[in-house]
Chains A and B, each alone.
Chain A
Amino acid sequence: MAGPTISVTLKVWRQDGPEAKGYFETHEAKDISTSMSVLEMLDVVNLRLQKEGKEPIAFESNCREGICGSCGAAVNGQPHGPKRATTLCQLYMRHFNEGDLLVIEPFRASAFPVIKDLVVDRSAFDRIIQAGGYVTVKTGQASDANAILVPKDVSDRAFRSAACIGCGACAASCPNASASLFAAAKVAQLALLPQGSVERTSRAREMVKQMDAEGFGSCSKHYECQEACPKEIKVENIAVMNREYLRSLLLDRD
């Protein structure tokens, strides 16, 4: 289809497996339509590699509309690339210029080991949620939905925290590789809502404990996470988590 095109140079991280040594490989992406996303540009490069009998660049994606949290790579040092509030699948080539160099590498954090090329293992995030990132309610136990009233502004704030897609950009952008923003978004969502209040004390404590156990660093307020977050989750969430954590220490009778 007609439309403006550009050509860019890619320096892409290749790594055959978790134990293998990684390296950068250079590829030319020629005549790329500016209406393509970065992932679609990688699709085009991959088709060419396959035609040449070479292994395509492994990268993850699923919904390709910014909501599933599967995709993610650092472009020129920034998780999800240079545009704010944007996942990699929503980053379009129109934001780049003819002749640009794109250095593409996996999300870096010791708790995110590389599986292959740009694919990393983010299962640590699931384990943080398992530690308490939910309301313990069984199917069938609920009362009528309108029996729990939540002021609209509180509900809206909880929604903004709940919008986290679990992509890992926060940890990848943090100099300490801290997962604080991820954990805090869930802690804050549930701390704000009456449904979450019963387990407030244990939730923050257990999630923070798990975060440490996974090898994520602590927050030392660089706030890079907030810049990198494609869903614009705010660092205020971390303040809420710290408060909840302190509260749990004060109330912990065990």
Chain B
Amino acid sequence: MLDGKVPEGPLSEKWIRHKFEMKLVSPANKPTFNLIVVGTGLAGASAAASLSELGYRVKVFCLGDSPRRAHSIGAQGGINSAKNYPNDGDSVLRLFYDTVKGGDFRAREANVHRLAEVSGNIIDQCVAQGVPFTREYGGHLDNRSFGGAQVSRTFYANAQTGQQLLLGAYGALMKEIKVGNVQMHTRREMLDLIVADQRAVGIVCRNLVTGALETHLADAVILATGGYGNAYYLSTNSVLSNATAAWRAHKRGAFFANPCFTQIHPTCIPIHGDSQSKLTLMSESLRNDGRIWVPRKKGDTRLPHEIPESERNYYLEERYPSFGNLVPRDVASRAAKRVCDEGFGVNGGDAVYLDLLGPIARDGIAALEDKYDNLFEMYQRITDEDPRQTPMRIYPAVHYTMGGLWVDYNLMSNLPGLYVIGEANFSDHGANRLGASALMQGLADGYFILPYTIGDFLARQGRAKVSDDHPAVTDAQRETRERLDKLMSLRGKKTVSELHRELGQVLWDHCGMSRDAKGLQTALEKIPAIREDFWKNANVVGRPDTFNQVLERAGRVADFIELAELMCIDASNRNESCGSHFRVEYQTPDNEAQRDDEQYAYVAAWEYKGVGVQPALHKEPLAFERVGLAQRSYK
């Protein structure tokens, strides 16, 4: 039984008490501790800056040429906070409740409550940094609505909220580099975690420009390396997003929790070609005004404007009258898949309409463009169709991963000294994340949670005192070198990209929006075959001692293949439906996800046992003290 180390006491007092009970590192001692932060998205950049401000010495690593390239930058719609500025009845309790319910009761209550508690501080901090949130004419901050909520609690900077928040955190990080407390290492890829005497004490990374392997030791390692949606090949993630750092930590003993919880976002631009490299999201915020519909007639090939109102099926509004188009993402995605599978999709294919023509006619295009900024133009660029004239066509796509490395209440993994924050951990979103909550969680972890909890560990455990010649260090270096050599020796006929695409198709078909035991079994036969194919037939060109994008990609795909297997094992183990994890065998009479709280109200944390070997399952039971377990309803 895995212990989440949730503090005692009533839910609303846990964090307050815990903050008091944690040990502190005195200001004079903080500079004697060295910390490593891998990843510079919202979680990593905010953590690195905050830890440096406290006085710790911080080394930061990122893949790109600048910390600002992290994929947090792509987030469009907004960030939730229980500020209740609109006076519409929001509160910490309501944000907590909506998030636990939105996650279909598979998140840890205490973590979610803490997230809601600090959500207000985040907005304050970002505004102080000069983040230009969208404002009302009186100069106050504006709010809008997102799925799964009946209040307007989402703050936004046009449709570039992620960019503006990341640039705020990036500015804070740059400030600390200038001060000299942060050492920034760009163009580095973490390839192994060093675990010495049961404590995470460093990383091995590859300098992506020179190919040199570098070893960095520290007193704690913080992974902020994002999600693994790119395991599916096509997703809304940026093309560099990968699971390698998390997966290597897993192979060194860190448990991987709920890997099958992957969010398929309902409103993405449909796939349009074979050589497409990624999918593009149309912000959920569009569902504030946009109405989703399909023709009532199967295979209707008429143009949308030729289809009269009476022959349109606004299926979300009909099925879920109280939330309408703002149902949570998992619900909206499944509903879209269902109507398309039944043959009602646009032209009988895989697309539904997201229609903003009504609001445009009512409020004028200027008002809509003011709210949604560049989204219309973005859609038009990609599809060559003008959403001001004709409804957008959208379809669900892989977007976010709720699963990730297991962490306790302190955001520490089961490996002492290894902390995991942001999308890379599993903790707050259960089986389905609500819109505008990823930015909130990344910044909560980085600004307001980790900087407190890590101090307790450092105060209790002291410095790591591991030298360069410790066997754990030399082993990690040697194994990384051998693995790179092995990758470089691959001279087969298949490109890494082809193999990745094959893997993605298997995952999408069998571990995507709906899953069943038989399909998962098929996937579990196909994935090991792809793995073997990779190590036999992949082709890795170029040299290891130079900038080599083929080698980089090969390592990441090899890790995705292993992770994909774990995702399917997890999905077959969980014989229930919850949130994004929809097993067709387990549904209510009206086709909603049917949980099994007797059997599965737990976090599934998997321990690595070897390539192709059945991992060991550790269960962290989930207790719901504040929110009564109930069938989720948005009707």
One of B413-421, B545-553, B574-582, B623-631 contacting the partner: B545-553
B163 sits at the interface (CB 8 A): yes
B64 touches A189 (CB 8 A): no
Known: A67-B73, A137-B172, A150-B135. 19 other contacts (CB 8 A): A3-B273, A40-B275, A55-B542, A60-B65, A62-B69, A65-B280, A67-B74, A68-B69, A68-B74, A86-B381, A119-B547, A135-B129, A139-B447, A148-B127, A151-B139, A155-B134, A190-B130, A195-B127, A195-B128
Taking beta carbons and an 8 Å cutoff, which residues of A are in contact with B? Answer: 1, 3, 16-17, 33, 35-37, 39-40, 43-44, 47, 50-51, 53-56, 58, 60-70, 86, 90, 92, 94, 115-116, 119, 121-123, 125-126, 129-146, 148-152, 155-156, 158-159, 162-163, 165-166, 189-190, 193, 195-196
Interface size of B in residues (CB-CB distance below 8 Å) = 83
The residue in chain A whose Cβ has the minimal distance to the Cβ of B493 is A51
B278 sits at the interface (CB 8 A): yes
B238 touches A63 (CB 8 A): yes
- Tell me the bound Cα distance from A125 to B174 in angstroms: 11
- Complex A-B: 23 CB contacts under 8 Å: A3-B273, A33-B275, A35-B384, A47-B498, A60-B65, A62-B239, A63-B71, A63-B238, A64-B278, A69-B68, A86-B381, A123-B186, A126-B66, A126-B174, A126-B184, A134-B130, A135-B129, A140-B125, A145-B127, A149-B140, A158-B130, A159-B164, A195-B127
- Tell me the bound Cα distance from A147 to B218 in angstroms: 40
**B residues in contact with A159, CB < 8 Å:** 132, 134, 157-158, 164
B381 touches A158 (CB 8 A): no
- Tell me the bound Cα distance from A126 to B178 in angstroms: 11
Instruction: Scan residues 48-65 of chain B and give those whose CB is less than 8 A from a CB of chain A.
Output: 49-50, 53, 64-65
A123 touches B132 (CB 8 A): no
A28 to chain B, nearest CB (A): 16
A142 touches B128 (CB 8 A): yes
- Tell me the bound Cα distance from A56 to B136 in angstroms: 50
- Tell me the bound Cα distance from A67 to B546 in angstroms: 28
- Tell me the bound Cα distance from A60 to B124 in angstroms: 35
A64 touches B130 (CB 8 A): no
- Tell me the bound Cα distance from A64 to B269 in angstroms: 13
When each residue 67-80 of chain B gets 1 if its CB lies under 8 Å from chain A and 0 otherwise, what string results? 11111011000000
B541 sits at the interface (CB 8 A): yes
When each residue 511-533 of chain B gets 1 if its CB lies under 8 Å from chain A and 0 otherwise, what string results? 00000000000000000000000
Instruction: Scan residues 459-515 of chain B and give those whose CB is less than 8 A from a CB of chain A.
Output: 491, 493, 495, 497-498
Other-chain residue from B53, B83, B491, B498 in contact with A139 (beta carbon distance below 8 A): B53
Q: With contacts A142-B121, A145-B83, A166-B68 known, is A51 near B546, CB below 8 A?
A: no
When each residue 259-294 of chain B gets 1 if its CB lies under 8 Å from chain A and 0 otherwise, what string results? 000000000000011111110100000000000000
A144 to chain B, nearest CB (A): 6
A183 to chain B, nearest CB (A): 13
- Tell me the bound Cα distance from A138 to B54 in angstroms: 9
A105 to chain B, nearest CB (A): 17
- Tell me the bound Cα distance from A123 to B209 in angstroms: 13
B453 sits at the interface (CB 8 A): no
B281 to chain A, nearest CB (A): 8
A128 to chain B, nearest CB (A): 9
Most buried by B among A94, A130, A131, A193: A130
B164 touches A162 (CB 8 A): yes
B85 touches A146 (CB 8 A): yes
B296 sits at the interface (CB 8 A): no
- Tell me the bound Cα distance from A165 to B74 in angstroms: 11
B74 touches A63 (CB 8 A): yes
Other-chain residue from B49, B141, B277, B541 in contact with A145 (beta carbon distance below 8 A): B141
- Tell me the bound Cα distance from A115 to B53 in angstroms: 33
B610 sits at the interface (CB 8 A): no
B460 to chain A, nearest CB (A): 23
Q: With contacts A47-B495, A55-B541 known, is A62 near B136, CB below 8 A?
A: no
Other-chain residue from A92, A139, A166 in contact with B448 (beta carbon distance below 8 A): A139
- Tell me the bound Cα distance from A189 to B133 in angstroms: 12
A73 to chain B, nearest CB (A): 14
**B residues in contact with A149, CB < 8 Å:** 138-140
A135 touches B128 (CB 8 A): yes
B127 touches A33 (CB 8 A): no
A62 touches B238 (CB 8 A): yes
**A residues in contact with B66, CB < 8 Å:** 69, 122-123, 125-126, 166
- Tell me the bound Cα distance from A62 to B447 in angstroms: 25
- Tell me the bound Cα distance from A66 to B626 in angstroms: 43
**A residues in contact with B273, CB < 8 Å:** 1, 3, 33, 35-36, 40
Q: With contacts A63-B74, A67-B74, A159-B158 known, is A40 near B277, CB below 8 A?
A: yes
**B residues in contact with A36, CB < 8 Å:** 273, 275-276
Other-chain residue from A56, A64, A121 in contact with B277 (beta carbon distance below 8 A): A64
- Tell me the bound Cα distance from A196 to B128 in angstroms: 9
Other-chain residue from B46, B73, B123, B164 in contact with A68 (beta carbon distance below 8 A): B73
A65 touches B378 (CB 8 A): yes
A69 touches B74 (CB 8 A): no
Q: With contacts A66-B378, A148-B127 known, is A193 near B132, CB below 8 A?
A: yes
The residue in chain B whose Cβ has the minimal distance to the Cβ of A37 is B277
- Tell me the bound Cα distance from A22 to B72 in angstroms: 34
A63 touches B164 (CB 8 A): no
B128 touches A16 (CB 8 A): no
Most buried by A among B46, B178, B550: B178
A195 to chain B, nearest CB (A): 4
**A residues in contact with B170, CB < 8 Å:** 129
The residue in chain A whose Cβ has the minimal distance to the Cβ of B83 is A145
B615 sits at the interface (CB 8 A): no
B64 touches A70 (CB 8 A): yes
**A residues in contact with B186, CB < 8 Å:** 123, 126
B167 sits at the interface (CB 8 A): yes
B333 sits at the interface (CB 8 A): no
Other-chain residue from A44, A142, A146 in contact with B125 (beta carbon distance below 8 A): A142
- Tell me the bound Cα distance from A150 to B158 in angstroms: 16
A1 touches B272 (CB 8 A): yes
B240 sits at the interface (CB 8 A): yes
- Tell me the bound Cα distance from A134 to B448 in angstroms: 20
B65 touches A158 (CB 8 A): no
A64 touches B546 (CB 8 A): no
B171 sits at the interface (CB 8 A): yes
A134 touches B160 (CB 8 A): no
B65 touches A139 (CB 8 A): no
When each residue 29-49 of chain B gets 1 if its CB lies under 8 Å from chain A and 0 otherwise, what string results? 000000000000000001001
B20 sits at the interface (CB 8 A): no
Q: With contacts A43-B277, A123-B186 known, is A134 near B209, CB below 8 A?
A: no
Instruction: Scan residues 362-403 of chain B and give those whose CB is less than 8 A from a CB of chain A.
Output: 378, 381-382, 384
B408 to chain A, nearest CB (A): 22
The residue in chain B whose Cβ has the minimal distance to the Cβ of A157 is B132
The residue in chain A whose Cβ has the minimal distance to the Cβ of B210 is A17
- Tell me the bound Cα distance from A190 to B128 in angstroms: 11
B422 sits at the interface (CB 8 A): no
A90 touches B381 (CB 8 A): yes
Instruction: Scan residues 106-147 of chain B and give those whose CB is less than 8 A from a CB of chain A.
Output: 121, 123-141
A143 to chain B, nearest CB (A): 7
B385 to chain A, nearest CB (A): 11
**B residues in contact with A69, CB < 8 Å:** 66, 68-69
**A residues in contact with B125, CB < 8 Å:** 137, 139-140, 142
Other-chain residue from B49, B127, B141 in contact with A142 (beta carbon distance below 8 A): B127
